[in-house]
Every structure is written in structure tokens, then in C-alpha cells.
Amino acid sequence: PKRKHINVLGMQISASEQGARKALVGAGAVLLVINGVGLPFILPKVMRRFLGAPFVPMKPHAVDALFDRVLPQWAAARGAGRAAPLEGLRLVDFGAGDGRIVAAAASRGMQAVGYEVNPYLVWWSRWRTRKALAAA
């Protein structure tokens, strides 16, 4: 292949046109991947006043404790004498984040809905829900 010589910042560089094209496409692909993966986590910090509070996910053991110990005791104290004390109750999660609270509530028989203003977290929540439904 024919090689071309160019002067970049005082350095002589030679490359074939095909090699330069591969390098350019590769660099573009890397930039797209970095932006696609990093943007959902960087953008909320940059646009905090538009997207609300930062996302801090709840640990799985805390979610289990909430739905297996705290809420059943609360429901029993309110006089819900059912075998499954949470079944049929309603839950609204404002700032639902990745939807783990809503998913945990729905898996325990509750009617649950979550509201989130961050579009990336909404997408992530929907993706996780579809994945869970496909596995079931």
C-alpha cells in the first residue's frame, strides 16, 4: 500500500490510507462507547439543578429488610390480618432511581409506581424490568 508522509507538530508521520482510516474509525468508536457509558453518570452531576438530587441506590439487604421486616410489621399494626400483609397495598416511589424499590414492592404483591426525572435512570429501570419479565 502507498504510504503518505505528513508533518504533525514538527514530527514526521507516515501511514497508509487504510491504516489511518482504521485508526480514525477505532478512535471514533472508543469515544462513542466512553460517552455512551459515562454520560448517564456524568450528566446528572452537571445538570443537577435540572435533574434533581443525585442517585444513591439502596443496598439489596436494605431493600429486603424494608419489605420483609419493616413494612409487614407496619401493615400488621394497621390491622391488615392477611397471610401476605403487603399484598394489595399501594406504593408510590418519588425519585425512583433505577426502580429497585418499585420492583421489590411489585414482586411482593403490592401495586407500585415510581416517578423519576432522570431519563437515563428511567431507561435503566425499564430495561431491568423487561429483563426480569423475560426471565420469569
Q: What is the DSSP string of 24-50?
A: HHHHHHHHHHHHHHHHHHHHHHHTHHH
91 lies in a domain?
yes
β pairing state of 11-16 and 3-8: antiparallel
pLDDT for 6 beyond 70: yes
Same domain, 66 and 111: yes
Please give the pLDDT value at position 13: 79
Domain range for 112 is 60-135
53 lies in a domain?
no
Residue 77 belongs to what H/E stretch? Answer: helix 71-77
Same domain, 68 and 118: yes
Please give the pLDDT value at position 119: 84
Domain tally, the chain: 2
Same domain, 65 and 105: yes
Q: pLDDT tens digits for 53-83? A: 778 889 999 999 998 889 888 888 877 666 6
E-assigned strands of the chain? Answer: 3-8, 11-16, 90-94, 111-115
Check which CATH number belongs to the domain holding 110 and give it: 3.40.50.150
d(CA 112, CA 66): 15
